[in-house]
Amino acid sequence: MKIVSMDVMSTGVIAFYVLIASREGLFTPIISEVKKAAYADPVPQAVILTAIVIGFSIQALMLVGVMKLAKDNPTLESSEIEKNNTP
């Protein structure tokens, strides 16, 4: 559940950023033939793509950690897992 909640939180932050960064009337800098107009900034798009990739890799790493814990501890209680793994 913690991994799913982290994923939902990450998706919410990305969706909020897209909502704030989106504006109507902006032209694509490469495809547009308009010489003097308001262009869309490609930097926020690159940041969002990077955030998606980093979020995916962190989620995969957390799932590998959970698989390792599940192999060693046959319980779903996080307090029991912490108690068993504390030196």
Structure tokens at 39: 């262009």
C-alpha distances (whole Å) from 16 to each of 12, 21, 27, 59, 64 are 6, 9, 22, 20, 28
Q: What's the total number of domains in the chain?
A: 1
Comparing CA positions, the residue from 8, 24, 6, 28 lying closest to residue 16 is 8
pLDDT at 12 over 80: yes
57 assigned to some structural domain: yes
Rounded to whole angstroms, how far apart are CA atoms 87 and 39? 57
Any domain includes 82 = no
Which residues constitute the domain of residue 20? 2-75
User: Per-residue pLDDT tens for 32-48?
Assistant: 566 777 777 778 888 88
Whether the pLDDT of residue 50 is over 90: the answer is yes
Is residue 80 situated within a structural domain? no
**pTM of the complete model:** 0.67
Which residues make beta-bridge pairs with 27?
39
